[in-house]
Amino acid sequence: MPLLRTLPVTNPATGSRLRAHAAIEAKEVLDRIEAAHRAFLEWRDQSFADRSQALLKAAKNLLAGKDRYAARITAEMGKPIMQSQAEIEKCAWVCRYYAENGESLLAAERIQLDAAQAQVIARPLGVIYAIMPWNFPFWQAFRAAAPALMAGNGMLLKGAENVPGCSADISEIISAAGVPKGLFSDLPIDISKSPAVIANPLVRGVTLTGSESAGRAVAAEAGAHLKKCLLELGGNDPYLVLADADLSMAAQRCVASRMLCAGQVCIAAKRIIVVDAIYDRFRDLLLKELDPYVMSDPTMPECRLGPIARQDLRDRVHSQVQASVDSGAALIRGGIVPDCDGWWYPATVLEDVKPGMAAFDEEVFGPVVALVRATNTQHALDLAVETRFGLGGAIFSADVENAVQLAAERIDAGCIAVNDFVRSDPRVPFGGTKSSGFGRELGRLGIHEFVNFKSLVFPSGF
């Protein structure tokens, strides 16, 4: 009897092995695709009220098991437990949002024509394949699943291989919420099996949150098979601190953004661009804000900085820091791999960061602050847009009207905050441009991604 292939899981805080999860083979993958399609044929005909009740039940299930699910996140990818609990609460929020607003967001539109009229209606596409990352293993899945299911679609979740327990939990939560059997399933497979899933004619769309390289590969496969595709990829977000900014507030929010999830966030404050007039004062405030971010046990409520999720990821962060220093950046805090078990990396600060350095040009997915000095506002804006990415960004300034105008007209990104850090919200479309991907999740646009807008034209007076 052949041995079952498994997905081994390592606790990043200790380096110890957790319980391995069995991977499924090609026949089981095909069975789950077909089951999802059969369930979709039933689900698409259910009322919005019935779909809403299922999402509300999923929200209830999430909150009832919050402590257990949060512990799973922390064990599998190292997130501090309080952040893991907040992630579960946010998943319940997105379920409630689409349960309460999905029907109105998909309401039919009437258009009067010259001698006729038209009605534009939204209909679900079918089974959606969701390829989701490890940094927010519950949130990323639910922010894709909630609108897709409310619109009447089915979904297959291919979670990251280092968080298989999270993916299995998500499948159980949604399956127990009253949806047809098989409508939502996890696919515990390695990424090399994804092309066959995308190619399957019963799969009608693909959504991916992940790296730029993964996005290019998935987009190529989806394009080859003419499948609708949504990509939320990496970012190298500029946070501009202008001369009239509230520096204490700006330092606190830049640090909070950069250190969340040990810096493993696509929309983190990755390049903090500070005008020369207030640079020294801001740097001192930022260093003080960083003091509480000490590496500690992520299972403890007081933890603010946990480990990096995998050893290869930690090693890449360190190599980017070293490459930046070799190119002329100044290392003023951290930057040393600790001699201990697990995949730890300290809060690190680089200054004198300039274009051409890894910390400026690349996405650094770890707790590394890159300080960039700008001569003035115009120079700060020029530096901000000197990137192939376009996911998020922020501007800190007392002149809110001017900051909003600069954000609207000068920063080429999908999500820009003024006097705050960027965060996703169920009510607001989220996504990027350029190498940060295309399409939008969340809000009205998020539920519109995986529907067919059907135009019906008929005589006036009908």
Q: Per residue in 60-79, is it b (16+ CB within 10 Å) or e — as a string?
A: ebbeebbeebbebbbbbbbb
Annotated catalytic residue within 87, 212, 221, 232: 232
Q: Which of 189, 183, 203 is nearest to 129 (CA)?
A: 203
Task: For residue 249, give both structure tokens.
Answer: 């507030």
- Token pair, residue 424, equals 């996703």
CB 396, CB 244: distance < 8 Å? no
CA 71 to chain centre: 20
- Virtual CA dihedral for 31, 34, 38, 40, nearest 10 degrees? 110
User: Of 304, 277, 307, 310, which Cα lies nearest the Cα of 291?
Assistant: 304
First to last CA, the chain: 65
- Helix or strand run (H / E) with residue 20: strand 17-22
- Give the Cα separation of 45 and 448 in Å (integer): 18
Report residue 112 as tokens.
């009067």
List the catalytic residue out of 166, 266, 303, 415.
Answer: 266
152 to each of 92, 149, 222, 403, 426, how far by Cα in Å? 19, 5, 21, 40, 18
232 is catalytic: yes
Q: Is 355 exposed, middle or buried (0-12, 13-18, 19+ CB in 10 A)?
A: exposed
Active site residue 266: yes
> Among residues 239, 206, 237, which one has the least CA distance to residue 436?
237
Give the CA-trace dihedral at 80, 84, 87, 88, to 10 degrees: -170
What string of DSSP letters covers 399-413?
-HHHHHHHHHHH--S
Assign residue 443 a region: left if phi > 0, alpha if psi is -120 to 50, beta otherwise? left
**Strand order across the beta sheet in which 228-232 lies:** 184-186, 154-158, 127-131, 203-209, 228-232, 437-438
> Long-range contacts for 443-447 (Cβ within 8 Å, ≥24 apart)?
444/105, 446/143, 446/147, 447/98, 447/102, 447/105, 447/106, 447/147, 447/150, 447/151
Residues in the chain: 462
Query: What is the set of active-site residues?
Result: 232, 266
